[in-house]
Structure 1
Amino acid sequence: MSETSSIKADELWEGDIENLKRIKSNPEEKKKEIRKIWKNLILICIAFVGNFTAFNGASALQSSLNSDEGLGTASLSVIYGTLIISALFLPTYVINFLGCKWTIVVAICGYVTYPLANFYPHWGTLMPSSIFVGLSAAPLWSAKCAYLTTNAKRYAILTHDKKDGEESDISLTKLVDAIVNRFFGIFFLFFQSTQIIGNLISSFVLSADVINDLEFPTCFNETYIEENCGKNDCQGDLNAARIQYNSSECPVSDLNSSGPSDDTIYILMGIYTAIGLSGALLMALAVDNIKIREKETRGLFALLFATIEHMKDKRQLLLIPITMYSGFEQAFLTGDYTRSFITCPIGVNWVGFVLICYGGCDAIFSLLCGGAEKYVGRWPLFSVAALINLGLIITFQVWLPYPNEVALFFVLPALWGLADAVWQTQLNALYGVLFVGNQEASFANYRLWESIGFVISFGYQNFVCVSDKLWVILSVLIVGMTLYYYVEFRERKKPNQTVTFNDEHKSKNNMAFRKTSVSTISANGVDNGGFSTEL
């Protein structure tokens, strides 16, 4: 365990350390506190399910439903571009003003504007909504990461029992790492289920008008697919291509070229809006708040300075490419795979059904990754995910998506979801463990560089052929994994750092905390002390 991944006394307020000791000494209070931690974890997960069922369901259809002038993917690019600015300025200020709980509530309401804007998708509606979502995203994810990491470390302290022949300090450090991974795994199990729920809703709603739309095409024009779909999609007008290759023997235009009716879109977006608002309501009524610190003295630009300062850490610089890759690979599936490998060859109504396989595997393996890391380590999981993505990228370069190859339409995104489960759970956990003493700035960097990956990918989505995009993704993956291995093995060579909570050590570290508060996490309570739960 590296020096920076240990738990130091200055990561909890002295008052909360004493409070946890008191609770731990009382079996009934200990059980009650543990139940409260689990309750809050599950309820936050459910609230996120409501929010991202709505947002992911709507965003997955943008490259297909709102393809005119690149409106859909442009709105997604604006979201992640705004998120970059949001990540540098807003999380500290918003979380300190509202608290973790109410930050999440308000941010979810910001997300709900996106399906609302899709009632009438236009530059004047989608662009403002995208800005609202981007501004909401960074505080939302920062508050979530803070809440989960804080409760994971509280849970570890409450449940830690020294075993015979075991050094208590080191065992607690390992337990914290395991609990953080477990909590993130549980969260992403719920989170990735939004792909299943959201896409299931869109699939049935979009297919409701014509029951035959639930059948795979039995007749297709090979020339149309070879020149316009898969790797050969250069972002041309698919409707014009369908008309060009249409024939009485094999009518390409039957592939839902006119798109769903307005009434169908209204029903779909109405469902998404209601589900998103239910997540905000659950969060507001049922989740306990976390009090971060008694008094906040940092200004609006503190996180920006802390984020820039954090880049002086060589490990953060080395992790930039693999963090950007997380954005590239998610954007490829959302923006390119849905259009080029689903809508183009078989129709937009199949987007949801195909992505359910992606979301299902993503959800299941998100949970499994949280436990598997404890036994196999982090770098083997990263390696497996990289090899899967490598194989899929090569496959996408050679596969022509003919509709008669039914299984491939479902198996390939399922494998992509398996790899994405690793990237999402383990990258989050890596930042949480590697930069445990400076989590606010580290998570801000995580969202910053992941968002840059999204922005670049969505930004050139309408101008670059899919084949060229696959080479870009492959290059980022190779560079990112090479630098990640360097960080991982460099950290493994560092000596273990013990965990002590004696009074003298606490006193010294509390003074050190006050001197360096600008680079510690105000959203978290792990680094800067005390938090009490209150409604």
Structure 2
Amino acid sequence: MELVEEEDEEPEVKPHRKRVNFRREMLRYQSLRNPISESHIPAPDEEEEMEDKEGNIWRNFVSQCSATFLAVFAVIPSRNLQTSIHSDGQLGKISLVCMYFSYIVGCLLTSLILRKIRAKSLLLISLFFHILYSVSNVIPSAYTLLPASCFVGLSQPAFWAVQDSLLLNYGLQYAVRARLTPHKSLRLFQTVTIITIHSAQILGNLLSSGLISVSEFHCTESWDIVNTSSSHQSSSSSSRSSGRQQQRNDKWTYTLPFIPIQARRSTEPSPPVNFYQLLTLIYLCMSVVAMGAVLIFFESPDTVLQRRVISWRERFKDIRRCLTDPRWLLAWAAAAYVGFAQGVIMCDITKLYGTDSMGCYIVGYMMVSFGTGNLLAILALDKLRLCATHPIFLSLGFLMNIGVLILTSLWKPGPSQSSELLLYTAMWGLADGTLQAQSQAVVTRYATEEKDTAMTGFRVCQGLGLIASFLSSIFAHNLMTSLYVALVLLVMGFLGLIFVANDIARRDRTSGTDQGSTDGQEADHSGANLTTENEAEVT
């Protein structure tokens, strides 16, 4: 009875109890375990300040996702249309070469950029380069498109690296507040970010295809076709008119976005709207809104983007260790194949199978199918991440890509086979997403001490594969040549992934046998932290 009475009286005493600060208790627990000095435990006033800053993580995360969505929405569909729209002088292909050559340079300078520039400033600079790229597509020429492509490619590695670091910061803070494990919390933020990025690609490509399909714009037309037709019409009308009409001053106006069109008489029908011009303006506006979202709503977090400073001597040792390992050399071929296959899709398949057969409106629909298949593969492998690096699953990704390459060499869609074309690109996206997720998982699991260097090497090899596919398209002018190169890279990469996966399995068995129970618990704790960092790199 006394226990029951005490339980009944407990709600009256509960409001007077001091609220337990979970973050402080966790830090105190870690200090007793690790041991850390008391100076690392924040004071009460510092704790309140930290709670105020942690209250902004959702606003920062939402503004960051919104800016990423708008930036990807504007840039990726424009990039996919480069080879179809700017085919004169192969300007579109050359712009892609410039973009991914700068991307490689950005990968090598990412660690230096993260140490010198804070998170918000880096996001704003990257989004400003996205605006320049949208402006270059509004006024396309070699003097505008090529420099803008270089700026976007240079900023992309740092843009995604700062997103990874911020996601890690959000995940750890939310894990403390929601009493979740850091691994689950970080995976939650990463899943939302991945869905945001792929949704932006899908919706952006849908918008481009929808507007181009209702427009009279054709990709084979040059950019001055409107002015040429207007001049022909004005010359023919002036030849039929009197001398007074010939001497009249032509009034020029600028339609969106800044393409001059000669004004018609009120009695004549107005010229048709070029919806591709409207599309480029929409992309430009979205890039500006993305930068404004970060500028207004995003607050600079108190986080260090580059936690460990690596000297050039240590980095050179890591690079030499990766280059001298034959398993790494073969695994780099898998990264090069991923980039090469994506380049074939962007440069050759969208042009030969899409634009030349059905029109450039189909390019957006093709990339929607490709992006949907890619997203499904990434989400499926995220659920099967424990066995994603198993040789059986690696063989499945290899066979899927082999099947796509064989189908590409034997079949070309006709003008009436749009449904088959979209299904074909969806299959390629599924195969590409499977192999890309598997190869990144193998790299992050195999690399322990030189993980950052390994991921940098993976991105560099992926960029080299993209450049190789563009150069092959520019100089060879033969799709079969690109398919043969892709097949060689795929076989070499698959062998490398199998060797690395077997080495990972053998290392896991050895480490599981040698460690005791107490050491095993500590290894699990450190392994959870390592997994969290790996997942941030994968995104």
TM, length-normalised to structure 2: 0.69
Task: Say which SS state the counterpart of residue 473 (structure 2) adopts.
Answer: coil
Question: Distance between the aligned counterparts of 1:287 and 1:487, measured in 2?
Answer: 42
Equivalent position to 2:102, from 50, 69, 82: 82
Q: Which runs of 5+ in 1 are unaligned?
A: 1-8, 162-171, 214-236, 241-259, 507-520, 528-535
Which residue among 273, 278, 283 is the counterpart of 1:267? 278
CA distance in 2, matches of 1:197, 1:17: 51
How far 1:74 moved relative to its partner? 0.7
Taking the aligned partners of 2:362 and 2:42, their CA distance within structure 1 comes to 54
Partner of 2:249: none
Tell me what 1:371 maps to: 383
2:411 is equivalent to residue 408 of structure 1: no
AA at the equivalent of 1:467 = M
Report SS of the residue matched to 1:477: helix
Structure-1 residue corresponding to 2:403: 391
Matches of 1:309 and 1:472 in 2, distance apart? Answer: 26
1:188 aligns with 2:194: yes
8 Å Cα contact 1:20-1:158 kept in structure 2: no
Distance 1:499 1:289 in 2: 35
Secondary structure of the equivalent of 1:418?
helix
Amino acid in structure 1 at the alignment position of 2:331: L
Alpha-carbon contact 1:343-1:351 (below 8 Å) kept: yes
Give the counterpart of 2:500 among 487, 497, 504: 487
Amino acid at match of 1:97: K
Distance, in Å, in 1 between the alignment partners of 2:303 and 2:341 is 36
Counterpart of 2:290 (choices 263, 266, 279) is 279
Q: Find the aligned partners of 2:394 and 2:39 in 1 and give their Cα distance.
A: 38
Contact 1:310 1:442 in 2 (8 A): no
77, 80, 85: which one pairs with 1:65? 85
The answer to whether residue 115 in structure 2 is matched with residue 96 in structure 1 is yes
Matched, 1:112 2:131: yes
- 2:74 touches 2:284 (CA, 8 Å); kept in 1? yes
Say if 1:359 and 1:484 are closer, same or farther in 2 by CA, change over 3 A. same
Q: What TM-score do you get using the length of structure 1 for normalisation?
A: 0.69
Tell me how large the CA RMSD over aligned residues is. Answer: 4.3
How many residues align? The count is 435
- Among 35, 44, 51, the alignment partner of 2:71 is 51
Closer, same or farther in 2 for the Cα pair 1:294/1:266, shift >3 Å?
A: closer
Task: Render the CA deviation track for 1:276-313: whole Å, top value 9, x for unaligned.
Answer: 233333334236625217998767x6796476346357
Instruction: Please state how far the C-alpha of 1:395 moved relative to its aligned partner.
Output: 0.8
Other-structure match for 1:322: 334
Contact 1:307 1:444 in 2 (8 A): no
C-alpha distance after superposition, 1:44-96 (max 9, x if no partner): 444322212111110100110001111001100111111212221x2122212
Residue identity (%)? 23
Contact 2:71-2:286 within 8 A present in 1 as well: yes
Q: Please say if residues 111 and 136 of structure 1, whose CA atoms lie closer than 8 Å, have aligned partners that are also in contact.
A: no
CA distance in 2, matches of 1:204, 1:268: 10
One-letter identity of the residue aligned with 1:100: A
Q: In the superposition, relative to structure 1, how do residues 185 and 430 fare at CA in structure 2: closer, same or farther (>3 Å)?
A: farther
Comparing 437-446 and 407-416, the one that deviates more: 437-446
Amino acid at match of 1:458: F
Letter of the structure 2 residue corresponding to residue 481 of structure 1: F
Rounded Cα–Cα distance in structure 1 between residues aligned with 2:480 and 2:64:
39
1:308-457 correspondence to structure 2 within 5 Å:
308-309=319-320, 311-312=322-323, 314=325, 315-374=327-386, 379-457=391-469
* Shift in CA distance, 396/526, structure 1 to aligned 2, threshold 3 Å: closer
Out of 202, 206, 215, which is 2:212 matched to?
Answer: 206
The aligned residue for residue 485 of structure 2 is 472
Amino acid across the alignment from 2:203: I
Give, in whole Å, the separation in 2 of the partners of 1:283 and 1:501. 40
Q: Letter of the aligned partner of 1:402 in structure 2?
A: G
After superposition, residues 153-168 of structure 1 pair within 5 angstroms as none
Question: Over alpha carbons, which structure has the higher Rg?
Answer: 2
Q: 1:239 to 1:111 in 2, by over 3 A?
A: closer
CA-CA distance at 1:446 after TM superposition: 2.0
Point out where structure 2 has 5 or more consecutive residues left out of the alignment.
1-29, 223-270, 535-539
Give the aligned partner of residue 249 of structure 1: none
Amino acid at match of 1:196: I
> 2:484 & 2:421 partners in 1: Cα distance?
21
Give the letter for the 2:403 counterpart: G
Contact 1:149 1:180 in 2 (8 A): yes
Shift of 1:152: 5.2
Can you list the C-alpha shifts for 1:325-347, whole angstroms capped at 9, x where unaligned?
A: 11111111111111010001111
**Quick one: distance in 2 between partners of 1:141 and 1:14?**
34
Contact 2:369 2:422 in 1 (8 A): yes
1:462 paired with 2:462, answer no
1:375-404 C-alpha deviation (Å, 9 max, x unpaired): 665655443332222111111111121122
